[in-house]
Amino acid sequence: MRPKHYIVNLVMLILVFVIGFSSLIGLRFYFEKQENTFDGILRNEQARYNIADGIIRHIITLESHYYKMAALAHVQEVERVYSDIQEEMRILRVLIDTIEHGGLLEMEMGVNLPDVQSAKEIIQYKHTPGAHSNVEVLELTPKLHFLNTKIDELVHSIKGINSSTESSQQKSEIADFLKGLPHYFAAMKESTARLVYASYKEMLHV
């Protein structure tokens, strides 16, 4: 009877070992999965933060182009700045679309290295329904569309100053347009700043 008793104890010991080892493996996989989940959320929020920061930088550049164009008189200079404005518009539309729907894009990021001011980085963002970005996108899109429709009017007015007897009226139209610009750009920067802040809070929460 004694050998049988030893066999039973050995089997029980093996069972305890298997159960304990399986539990450890299960816990390891669980925590690894949780770590990967949180790491993915953090990377996604970092991507949204970088995209929103890029939107602000391009809005500032776009604003400077508008004021620069209004101060120009030569047609060639106007057309050059007009081309720069269209390029900034294109970049902003891509960034806003990525915030709204998610996607993969290449962005220029600032770096603090000697003789290197920026570097390109591939950013992937996955839009989530709870990202609190839909309101900001809804505010940005129509304002960007308005500025895009007005740029042709501004170019037409600038070109007509030196070629028309009604230059005073066109100067007045340009002045009126410039008076409204700060409102639109300030509203766009405010909406984007909320995106940056929301991403920053989410990263702290994770």
Q: DSSP secondary structure string, 101-121?
A: H-EEEEEEEEEEETTEEEEEE
Q: The tokens 């008793």 sit on which residue? A: 5
Confidence of residue 37 (pLDDT cuts 50, 70, 90): low
Between the alpha carbon of residue 175 and those of residues 30, 143, 151, 153, 162, the distances in Å are 63, 19, 14, 13, 16
Q: Where are the alpha helices (DSSP H) in 131-166?
A: 134-161
| pLDDT value of residue 206 | 60
Q: Indicate if the pLDDT at residue 132 is higher than 60.
A: no
Is the pLDDT higher at 20 or at 98? 98
pTM, two decimal places: 0.72
Strands (E), the chain: 103-113, 116-125
CB atoms within 10 A of CB 192: 27
Confidence of residue 149 (pLDDT cuts 50, 70, 90): confident
Is the pLDDT higher at 186 or at 174? 186
**Which of 54, 155, 72, 141 is closest to 101 using CA atoms?**
141
Q: Indicate if the pLDDT at residue 17 is higher than 80.
A: no
Q: Indicate if the pLDDT at residue 185 is higher than 60.
A: yes
Please give the structure tokens belonging to residue 189: 């920067």
Q: How far is CA 161 from the centre of its chain?
A: 38
Q: What is the mean pLDDT of the chain?
A: 77
| pLDDT value of residue 87 | 92
Contact assessment for residue 65 and residue 85, using Cβ atoms and an 8 Å cutoff: yes
| pLDDT value of residue 90 | 92
Q: Indicate if the pLDDT at residue 194 is higher than 60.
A: yes
| pLDDT value of residue 31 | 65
| pLDDT value of residue 61 | 92
Range name among 11-15, 112-116, 161-165 with the lowest pLDDT average: 112-116
- Percent of the chain at pLDDT above 70? 75
Q: Indicate if the pLDDT at residue 4 is higher than 70.
A: no
Question: Stretch 25-29: mean pLDDT, rounded?
Answer: 73
**Which of 73, 68, 42, 71 is closest to 199 using CA atoms?**
42
Confidence of residue 20 (pLDDT cuts 50, 70, 90): confident
